[in-house]
Structure 1
Amino acid sequence: MRATYRLQLGPGLTFADVRELVPYLRDLGISHLYLSPSLQARSGSTHGYDVVDPTRISRELGGEAALRELAGAGLGIILDIVPNHMGTGDENRWWSDPELRARWFDVDEHTGAYRRFFDIDDLAAIRQEDPEVFETTHAKVLELLRDGVLDGLRVDHPDGLADPAGYLRRLREAGAEHVWVEKILSHSRPPESLRDWPVDGTVGYEFLNDVQGVFVDADAEDAFTALYAEVTGETRTFEDVALEAQLEQAETTFAREVDRLRRLQHLPGIAEALARLPVYRTYVEPWSGRVTDGDREAIAASGMHDALARVLRLEDDAPQEFVTRFQQTSPPITAKGVEDTAFYRYNRLLALNEVGGDPARFGVSIEDFHAANAERARRFPRNLLVTQTHDTKRGGDVRARIGALTWMADEWRERVLRWRELNAPLRETVAGREGRVGPDPNEEYLLYQTLVGAWPIEPLERLDAYLEKALREAKVNTSWVGQNEAWERAVQRFARAVVAHEPFLADFLPFAERVAVAGEASALGQLLLKYTVPGLPDTYQGDELLALNLVDPDNRRPVDWSARRAALDALRDDAGPIDAEHRKLYLIHTALTVRAQREATFAGGYTALDAPDGVVAYLRGDDVAVIVPVRPGAQPVADIPGGEWEERLEHLSGLSLLVR
């Protein structure tokens, strides 16, 4: 395996459509397609995560015959599967049959309620611990693995399962040799590591945040904290904001899950313990008595009541079901509280508000980055490496621009304060029309960071949709369940007025242009690291050209494949100067060409090289060297072993990919 390419299948991108893309992706340097869920989903599904029949391949995508044809077109296939839940409704014969429903799905006997996937009532959790359920739901994908149609599986949300480790063992024993898990690793102290599961690694969120963090100026943290407090009045830490949001989720959205736990075991502080757990979940096994040191540390760090802690450590008697369900309940509370609430409330630096990230961790040292790479090479050398996915809050190019602001902190403060003054009349106009409505200062600060990161953002309906989602996810002035449309429309009108306000644009546009240049340097550096450090690099659909994407559905817009095909053809035919808009494509193609030519090298070791401050440099094997400045102005040099080295990135100054 050399590199994957993630595709979001749907009505506009079927198996037949993907087959037409294979020659382009193969020429780009991709070895494996990485497909979104492709089992039979409910009618009208646009994403495939609402599977209603896991025994069949989606007819809307072309059916099994078309998938098998795609498998023979020249690239391997990794398939995203959804073992935690299924879509409810009449199309799901296991759900429609009361007897099968009781056996297949995790139903509360007391209330009749769809343990759910997070807070989505029409996605019901499955009992994969039941051998019949496992065999039925996996028969088709295991058949496709045996037949060589699939080369590997990406497992969605394993933390929702009763026994993730046992599930993954069964999957390996059944013939799934290559498996990646969608697992969020906490930045707790010490940082959480992936358990010794029979997998090739995670889907790569920890790398995304590490590589972004190494391009953030840690010395700018105090300046950004002070500016955030000055503009918004928010003086709490991110940990405080996140805990508040997690407690809200435990006591509202997931109140029925918490009540179910209370009925199983009358213990104090269950909701608080779920919210305060420093990791997504523990992996205590009440059926075997296994409790790891990591589990004990996480339980202790939560500060939960001793009686509850003793039960979760299996020191006091309690129903096995209580311990299992507690561990299944903490992940959605954390995900909804942190990623889908606090990440939209705490806007100090949006580049850090990313899936699997920690906005309190302002920057990553080069030493820690090297250590993470060396650890990955040792434990999970095929771990996926991503800088954008279908679930990220912002595309890599947007995140890189916002992160670049940390290297110009003083100017950023001046600009923000000036923009607030220039746009004050617009705020007053909106408030006068609607009464007491938005934006509040935190929302206005979110807007300015978004504009700098995603400019130009066209059509403006994209900005409207993003703001609506961001405001509702924050759950401060509006929410999905309590929509305040007057507030939402006022914020959208303010944003539209801002981007048409000449005094603002006169100040904003020159600054945004400089940030874009700095952001491109950061984005290209992150990409070179992604395609050359230990792991399996993934490209999200369309991200080989500039992709100023925001959160879904913005990042799932149709891709102009003909433009990418034409750009790649031009690069391969002409060795002349590279157009600015094609620098990403040039870097990706060049790096993947080197990986294809030196497969043994990239399957081998990783050695950090001595380099000046602000430069990441390392060897892969003994014949590939990479040098990436992560600080503006840093000299791209390193202490490289002697020999004849050839530069492969001739058309990109500042970055070096050397071979000998």
Structure 2
Amino acid sequence: MRIPASTYRLQITRDFDLDQAAAQIGRLRSLGADWLYLSPVLQSTEGSDHGYDVVDPTRIDPARGGREAFDRLCRAAHEAGMGVIVDVVPNHQGVAEPRQNPWWWALLQEGRGSRYAEAFDVDWEAFDGKLMIPVLGDDTGDGGAPLPGRAEQALADLAVRVDDGEPVLAYWDNLYPLAEGTYTLDDSGRVTADAGTVHDRQHYRLVNWRLGDAALNYRRFFTVSTLAGVRVEDAEVLEQSHTEIRRWFDEGLVDGLRIDHPDGLRDPGRYLQELQTMTGGAYVVIEKILEPGEKLPPQWLENGWTAGTTGYDALGTVDRLFVDPAGAYPLTTLDAALRQGSSAPGTGEGNWARMIHGTKRAVVDGALHAEVERLAREAADEPALADFTHEQVVDGLSEILANFDVYRTYLPQGAGHLQGALERAVAARPDLAAVVTALGPVLGTGSEEADLSPAARRFQQTSGMVMAKGVEDAAFYRYPRLSSLTEVGGDPSVFSLTPEQVHDEMARRLLEEPLAMTTLSTHDTKRSESVRARITVLSEAAEDWASTVTYVEKQAAAAGVASLPDRILTNLVLQALAGAWPIDRDRAVDYALKAAREAQTATAWVDGSESFEGQLTRLVEAVLGEPSVRAAFEGFARRLEGPGYSNALAQKLVQLTMPGVPDVYQGSEQWAPALVDPDNRRPVDHVGIARRLEALDARRDDPAVPRAHSVPPVDDSGDAKLLLTARALRLRRDRPELFTGYEPLRAEGRAAQHLFAFDRGGAITLVTRLPLGLARAGGWGETSVTLPEGTWIDELTGGRFQGTTEVADLLDLLPVALLRPA
């Protein structure tokens, strides 16, 4: 297995295609990146910017450059001494435009007899053996909400016609194939049958779009009906869906894979085993979210099926190192006061455990109810459930899912998580005790992996959906006590970690998963690392922040903008604006509206409130443009910049030098104050960054360079972070022998708690933590740290040090240092 020293993530799109990515190889090599890390490149839905909606897994997307461009990029990377890792999507395919997906088109046309019938996860026994397609608008069905199995009453918008030489069923711009023998053509080649009659004879049934949540018989990606689940547990499906991926390794083009959403697979462990055989033992990391204290199944790491996760767990550890625990009480008090003053539904609950139980239960009763119904159908023949009605089984399954504390059990290893969910479900709903207890063995308690029932396997695929939609996409937007903690894979009830706790975790990572990826920003993070670094400062200025929120609301009211009925959302949005300040109006409004719709308290993606969204927009516009409101906010936001930059440099250096394989998300080598997608997928000025790095390198020995970019003064250019990223990546790549161990270094003196330091076996990292508290204490004073024997050179400033050294001297130009032996 070839192992990267580091990776650099590039988002490949129509506007930044594979050839343009190849043009960056020299720059990224100069930055110090060891491998290119590419977003999905297989053919996706036309116009897709993210690539996770693959429509043809057998070819490289022509819109992203096509096969020849991909091959050129991989060979150019190898010629430059770089490896290539590619993001792949085994769990689902895009079906928004059926004709673009040849597998889905054939399935719709041929039904259960299609060669692709086994490719998609369809429950053919439900709904008269027809595949339900939730696409019809609210002008159809029974008052816009048709019931499962009831024929829609208003299908006048359906038409049958010949399109591009092929007879199709058309619903506005949506085209669907016609099965052989279900239509007739006249002498002029036109379809003569009535559209409704033709529709009734197909292998699919078009139903109201709302039925996707209530009753659906194919597995989706979470709640996205245009992403259909794929059955890679079937050997033929695996082979067909991975022909292009296999070619990459057969031809020596690709060195590793990043696996998207393995929790959605029927048997992720087996899939990872198959990948190792297919790729010849390549480096594979998985987008797996681990809750605090949770670990991957040990056999996955021991047997080399995966090197570990993509790093959300590392992100959560690093972030909490820079949170001041003293901020917990005042920020919790502010949160409680705002909840008391809110009138919107769902804003009253401030206890995290109770909140996520409620949001998860809402998801299983609403957006994911179809998935629970399918689970109940799959378990219907289990003898243990013979005495219970279908409704009781659905209720029991829903309550168990709402009480899950991890994304997925990997039975039998995860039996403890399942047992805990069963016990919590009984405690929450004693009336369901009998059915929940009966469901335990059905779902896998006491079973070996080979003996798991179909329902137990599907339950494991479903629990992650509930966590993702109920926690990440709902509760995270309702719990902004300190919003930098509501990040993918994080538990915001864990407010901070002590340096000793972080040291222990670093040592564990080195021992148990030394090749796992580490990260601070991804295409999925709710806020970029730079934004979180500033928001984290609120833990050191919590009382001032509480006063600022109240004062901004007061000034906004005076300007004619009333307080939102969801004042929790006000706190969330103001924290985002402070973290990304200065920010333009469109970016700020787009973020605020997305946050509000995800929170689902006063508006939503479906049936949202125009009046509330207008009020929220006016609040954002007032903060940005109304002089009195902006003045109330901007002064505090500016105060966060200096300590926020200090945090940004510190967390970046820790991530780049800690145990694991560091990933740099495109553009995050500079400040890059981005918010949630698509804001974090904005174009990156790669040429400009390269020029700035060249200028920094040309003045490598000039002490004025780090001094000019010290903190404070604030460095708006981001050159300090660029300098740090390049020097750290180069050292990891060129001197790997310096990164083989882990030993904490501890300072002595009154400000010792503000230094976090460790020795990786020759490379020493020293960073400032809690910079506001350090400034209040009068700085480092006589705080010192004893370095290992020998002379040490700071890669960032060129300073030389040995023995017991005052921290003020070590960090006189920058709030961080990276030492190597002279």
Pick the TM interval, shorter chain: over 0.9
Residue number among 750, 763, 779 corresponding to 1:624 in the alignment = 763
> How big is the shift at 1:505?
2.8
Task: Tell me which moved more, 316-325 or 72-81.
Answer: 316-325
Task: Give the corresponding residue for 2:742.
Answer: 606
If the length of structure 2 is used for normalisation, what is the TM-score? 0.76
Structure 1 residues 505 and 655 mapped into 2: Cα distance closer, same or farther (>3 Å)? same
> How big is the shift at 1:423?
1.8
**Is residue 320 of structure 1 aligned with residue 423 of structure 2?**
no
Residue number among 629, 634, 640 corresponding to 1:509 in the alignment = 634
Task: Give the corresponding residue for 1:94.
Answer: 103
Task: Give the corresponding residue for 2:376.
Answer: 262
> How big is the shift at 1:42?
2.1
Contact 1:185-1:194 within 8 A present in 2 as well: no
If the length of structure 1 is used for normalisation, what is the TM-score? 0.94
SS at match of 1:27: helix
- Structure 1, unmatched stretches of 5+, are 285-289, 432-436
Residue number among 309, 332, 337 corresponding to 1:202 in the alignment = 309
Structure 1 residues 291 and 533 mapped into 2: Cα distance closer, same or farther (>3 Å)? closer
Contact 2:85-2:255 within 8 A present in 1 as well: yes
Superposed CA offset, 1:184-225 (max 9, x none) = 0012xx444454311111000011111111100112211110
Structure 1 residues 106 and 556 mapped into 2: Cα distance closer, same or farther (>3 Å)? same
The separation in 2 between residues aligned to 1:336 and 1:103, in whole angstroms, is: 27
SS at match of 2:756: strand
Q: What one-letter code is carried by the residue in structure 2 that aligns with 1:596?
A: R
SS at match of 1:46: coil
Task: Give the corresponding residue for 1:657.
Answer: 818
Using the aligned pairs only, state the percent identity. 39
Contact 2:323-2:497 within 8 A present in 1 as well: yes
Superposed CA offset, 1:304-344 (max 9, x none) = 52222232234489982110111111101110100001111
The separation in 2 between residues aligned to 1:81 and 1:642, in whole angstroms, is: 46
> How big is the shift at 1:108?
1.3
Structure 1 residues 300 and 368 mapped into 2: Cα distance closer, same or farther (>3 Å)? farther
The separation in 1 between residues aligned to 2:814 and 2:530, in whole angstroms, is: 19
Task: Give the corresponding residue for 1:278.
Answer: 405
Task: Tell me which moved more, 629-638 or 487-496.
Answer: 629-638
Residue number among 572, 580, 583 corresponding to 1:457 in the alignment = 583
Task: Give the corresponding residue for 1:6.
Answer: 9
The separation in 2 between residues aligned to 1:298 and 1:15, in whole angstroms, is: 47
Task: Give the corresponding residue for 1:226.
Answer: 333
Task: Give the corresponding residue for 1:377.
Answer: 510
The separation in 2 between residues aligned to 1:353 and 1:215, in whole angstroms, is: 15
The separation in 1 between residues aligned to 2:298 and 2:648, in whole angstroms, is: 31
Task: Give the corresponding residue for 2:500.
Answer: 367
**Is residue 247 of structure 1 aligned with residue 361 of structure 2?**
yes
Residue number among 181, 186, 209 corresponding to 2:291 in the alignment = 186
Q: Which has the larger Rg?
A: 2
Structure 1 residues 210 and 314 mapped into 2: Cα distance closer, same or farther (>3 Å)? closer
SS at match of 2:522: coil
The separation in 2 between residues aligned to 1:153 and 1:210, in whole angstroms, is: 24
The separation in 2 between residues aligned to 1:657 and 1:315, in whole angstroms, is: 50
Superposed CA offset, 1:493-550 (max 9, x none) = 2210222222233333232222011110001000010111111111111111111100
Superposed CA offset, 1:378-404 (max 9, x none) = 122121111110000001111010111
**Is residue 586 of structure 1 aligned with residue 723 of structure 2?**
yes
Contact 2:510-2:742 within 8 A present in 1 as well: yes
> How big is the shift at 1:430?
4.3
Structure 1 residues 487 and 296 mapped into 2: Cα distance closer, same or farther (>3 Å)? closer
The separation in 2 between residues aligned to 1:146 and 1:201, in whole angstroms, is: 24
Task: Give the corresponding residue for 2:219.
Answer: 115
Task: Give the corresponding residue for 1:492.
Answer: 617
Report 1:284-303 matches (<5 A): 284=411, 290-291=412-413, 294-295=416-417, 298-299=420-421, 302-303=424-425
> How big is the shift at 1:121?
0.6
Q: What one-letter code is carried by the residue in structure 2 that aligns with 1:200?
A: A
SS at match of 2:52: coil
Structure 1 residues 615 and 300 mapped into 2: Cα distance closer, same or farther (>3 Å)? farther
Contact 2:350-2:479 within 8 A present in 1 as well: no
**Is residue 81 of structure 1 aligned with residue 88 of structure 2?**
yes
Task: Give the corresponding residue for 2:755.
Answer: 615
**Is residue 37 of structure 1 aligned with residue 184 of structure 2?**
no
> How big is the shift at 1:302?
4.2
Structure 1 residues 235 and 261 mapped into 2: Cα distance closer, same or farther (>3 Å)? closer
Contact 1:388-1:540 within 8 A present in 2 as well: yes
Q: What one-letter code is carried by the residue in structure 1 that aligns with 2:743?
A: T
SS at match of 1:453: helix
The separation in 2 between residues aligned to 1:20 and 1:367, in whole angstroms, is: 43
Task: Give the corresponding residue for 2:439.
Answer: 308
The separation in 1 between residues aligned to 2:727 and 2:766, in whole angstroms, is: 15
The separation in 2 between residues aligned to 1:411 and 1:430, in whole angstroms, is: 22
Report 1:634-653 matches (<5 A): 635=780, 637-650=784-797, 652-653=813-814
> How big is the shift at 1:21?
0.9
Report 1:86-165 matches (<5 A): 86-88=93-95, 89-97=98-106, 98=111, 99-109=114-124, 110-111=126-127, 112=131, 113-165=217-269
The separation in 2 between residues aligned to 1:560 and 1:439, in whole angstroms, is: 40
Contact 1:629-1:655 within 8 A present in 2 as well: yes
Structure 1 residues 2 and 486 mapped into 2: Cα distance closer, same or farther (>3 Å)? same
Structure 1 residues 547 and 62 mapped into 2: Cα distance closer, same or farther (>3 Å)? same
The separation in 2 between residues aligned to 1:320 and 1:225, in whole angstroms, is: 44
Q: How many residues align?
A: 643
Structure 1 residues 194 and 644 mapped into 2: Cα distance closer, same or farther (>3 Å)? farther
Contact 1:145-1:176 within 8 A present in 2 as well: no
Structure 1 residues 298 and 143 mapped into 2: Cα distance closer, same or farther (>3 Å)? farther
> How big is the shift at 1:56?
0.9
Contact 2:649-2:815 within 8 A present in 1 as well: no
Task: Give the corresponding residue for 1:352.
Answer: 485
The separation in 2 between residues aligned to 1:298 and 1:645, in whole angstroms, is: 51
Contact 1:155-1:182 within 8 A present in 2 as well: yes
- What is the Cα-based RMSD across aligned positions, in Å? 2.0
> How big is the shift at 1:91?
2.0
The separation in 1 between residues aligned to 2:447 and 2:539, in whole angstroms, is: 50
Contact 1:627-1:638 within 8 A present in 2 as well: no
- Structure 2, unmatched stretches of 5+, are 132-216, 341-347, 380-384, 386-392, 427-435, 710-714, 799-812
> How big is the shift at 1:33?
0.9
SS at match of 1:103: coil
> How big is the shift at 1:418?
2.0
Task: Give the corresponding residue for 1:541.
Answer: 666
The separation in 1 between residues aligned to 2:58 and 2:587, in whole angstroms, is: 37
Structure 1 residues 386 and 164 mapped into 2: Cα distance closer, same or farther (>3 Å)? same
Task: Tell me which moved more, 574-583 or 54-63.
Answer: 574-583
Q: What one-letter code is carried by the residue in structure 2 that aligns with 1:501?
A: E
Task: Tell me which moved more, 204-213 or 500-509.
Answer: 500-509
> How big is the shift at 1:452?
1.0
Contact 1:114-1:123 within 8 A present in 2 as well: no
Task: Give the corresponding residue for 1:287.
Answer: none
The separation in 2 between residues aligned to 1:561 and 1:598, in whole angstroms, is: 26
Report 1:303-452 matches (<5 A): 303-304=425-426, 305-315=436-446, 320-426=453-559, 429-430=560-561, 438=564, 440-452=566-578
> How big is the shift at 1:601?
2.2
> How big is the shift at 1:298?
4.7
Contact 1:624-1:658 within 8 A present in 2 as well: yes
> How big is the shift at 1:294?
4.5
The separation in 2 between residues aligned to 1:637 and 1:139, in whole angstroms, is: 58
Superposed CA offset, 1:558-578 (max 9, x none) = 112222111111111113333
> How big is the shift at 1:297?
5.4
Contact 1:608-1:618 within 8 A present in 2 as well: yes
